[in-house]
Amino acid sequence: MTLQEYDYAGESPSKLAASCLLLALTMKNLGGWTPTLEYYSGYRSQDLHPLVKRLNFLLIYQPRDKLKAVRTKYSHRVFFEVAKVTPMDMLKLEETLKSC
């Protein structure tokens, strides 16, 4: 979804990927940012928090009337319907990230 948003064009692709992974881990309650993830990504959890919050905000307040192709594609069962996953409440996300 960030490919369609100009605001994310200046972000490093590796930082964007790491932030997406941290958000997914948090949304699915699969644990936090481990030392192994930190080592191989080169990012500390705290470095990713602002971008993780922006990504979650994008999921909550995405425009529903335009640019539906990506959402439609990832709503299919072949892609595990990831576009249908409910975004986290921003306050709960903030609390969860503080514990990472």
Domain ranges in the chain are 2-99
Angstrom distances, CA of residue 61 to CA of 33, 85, 90: 25, 14, 12
The model scores a pTM over 0.85: yes
User: What pLDDT is attached to residue 47?
Assistant: 96
Rounded Cα distance, 59 and 26, in Å: 14
pLDDT in tens, 40-90: 999 999 999 999 999 999 888 876 666 788 888 989 999 988 888 889 999
Is CATH 1.20.140.10 the right assignment for the domain spanning 2-99? no
Do 96 and 26 meet the contact criterion of CB atoms below 8 Å apart?
yes
R_g of the chain computed on alpha carbons: 14
